[in-house]
Amino acid sequence: MGHLKNIALNIIKVVLPLAFGLFLIWYVYDLLDAKEKHDLFLSLKQANYWWIIVSILFGILSHLSRAYRWKYLLDPLGLKPKFLNSFFSVMIGYTINLLLPRVGEVSRCGVLSKYEKMPFTKLFGTVIAERIADATILASLTFLIIFSQFDKLGDMLKSWVSYDEEGSTLVIYSAVVVVTGLLIFIGFLYLLKTSSNKYLLKIKSLLIGFWEGAKSIIYMKSAFKFILHTLFIWIMYVSMFYMCFFSLEATSNVPLMGMLAAFVMGGISIIFIQGGIGVYPAAVMQILFIYGVSRSSGLALGWIIWTSQTVMILVLGILSMLIMPKYNRYLRQQKVDGNE
């Protein structure tokens, strides 16, 4: 019974956000009047898709760099996977993430662990370290946008925060929640340190493995190269996004900070719904509207960016799933032939 309950909960976690994303597609489209709907499809029809091809090339470069950057985290752990296996694993992880949120990182490490015979927990720890580096960049961009574009985003930010007469009560409740959470966390750490329960010991073992991987960023010899690759990856992300603006005449003159604001909001929106379906184009449209772009053109651009990125990931991910087993069979055969 408990097993069925877990399955049902997992299905709900996937289906509910997806259903909301599909609802959002209809809802945003329904907000447009007849002329805006006509302009939306006209924009999609008249777009210069050569810019989309350039955008996809930047995207591929970012994924290649991400796969190469991984080795700088793995080297201190004595793990040296083949570059192609790392790349295939990255793309498979991205593809699975489109359908199952937060499962992609696990799949990425699981696939590489399988083909390279490497400890999963250490691999996963390095992915956590990667996420820390990437989150730092995204957070920096977010703060840059908020502070530099506060005049344009101020009204939107204010609408996210409500103040009432019970504000002090809210602060007290928040403090109680934070303190309670800290006490629970400290108690859990104490149990992990002292308990001999087999489940807690398993969790402790996993956490130790994760920590070994996560701290590899501190001890790696090529920290400078890791940082350069991180910057390169994000420059490619922004370039991939920006190139799409030139595919539509209405968005080709959006200021740099407006483009970055749309980039950040689009990136944040993906957190809430797997793959960003529905919510990503809506987020891009909403931000660009602040910068004078019509809703139809903003929504068209949002769909162009989302579709091109999604298709790129799906194609590379599916190809990786097909090629990776053959590639590793070839490597094993080469090894056998070399030993004869």
Q: How many CA atoms lie within 13 A of 22 on its CB side?
A: 6
For 106-154, give the DSSP string: HHHHHHHHHHHT--HHHHHHHHHHHHHHHHHHHHHHHHHHHHHSHHHHH
Q: What is the 3-state secondary structure (H, E, C) of 175-206?
A: HHHHHHHHHHHHHHHHHHHHCCCHHHHHHHHH
Dist. CA 20–CA 12, nearest whole Å? 12
Helix, strand and coil content of the chain, in percent to the nearest 5, comes to 85, 0, 15
* Amino acid of residue 137: I
Please identify which residue in the block is written with the tokens 């590793």.
Answer: 328
Please report the pLDDT score of residue 56 as a whole number. 97
Q: How far apart are CA 290 and CA 294, in angstroms?
A: 9
3-state secondary structure of 334: helix
- Which of 7-42 are b and which e, b meaning 16 or more Cβ less than 10 Å from the residue's Cβ? eeeeeeeeeebbebbeebbeebeeebeeeeeebbee
* pLDDT for residue 78: 87
Can you give the pLDDT of all 340 residues of the chain as single tens digits?
Answer: 556 666 666 677 667 777 888 888 888 888 888 998 898 999 999 999 999 999 999 999 999 999 999 999 888 888 899 999 999 999 999 999 888 777 888 899 999 999 999 999 888 888 888 887 888 888 889 888 877 776 666 555 554 444 444 444 444 554 565 567 667 767 766 666 777 777 767 777 766 665 665 566 666 778 889 989 999 999 999 999 999 999 999 999 999 999 999 999 888 888 777 778 888 999 999 899 888 899 999 999 999 999 999 999 999 999 999 999 999 999 888 877 666 5
Q: How far apart are CA 251 and CA 298, in angstroms?
A: 8
Which 3 state secondary structure label does DSSP give 283? helix
The strand ranges marked E within 207-333 are none
* Separation CA 17–CA 325 (nearest Å): 32
* Domain ranges for the chain: 35-158+168-331
Phi/psi at 252 (5° precision): -70, -15
pTM for this model (two decimals): 0.79
- Asked whether 113 and 123 are in contact (CB, 8 A), the reply is yes
pLDDT at res. 229: 94
User: What single letter denotes the amino acid at residue 334?
Assistant: Q
What is d(CA 276, CA 263) in angstroms, rounded to the nearest whole number?
13
Residue 206: per-residue pLDDT: 66
Q: Contact at 8 Å (CB) between 69 and 230?
A: yes
CA-wise closest residue to 263 among 283, 290, 291: 283
CA dihedral 130, 133, 139, 143 (to 10 degrees): -160
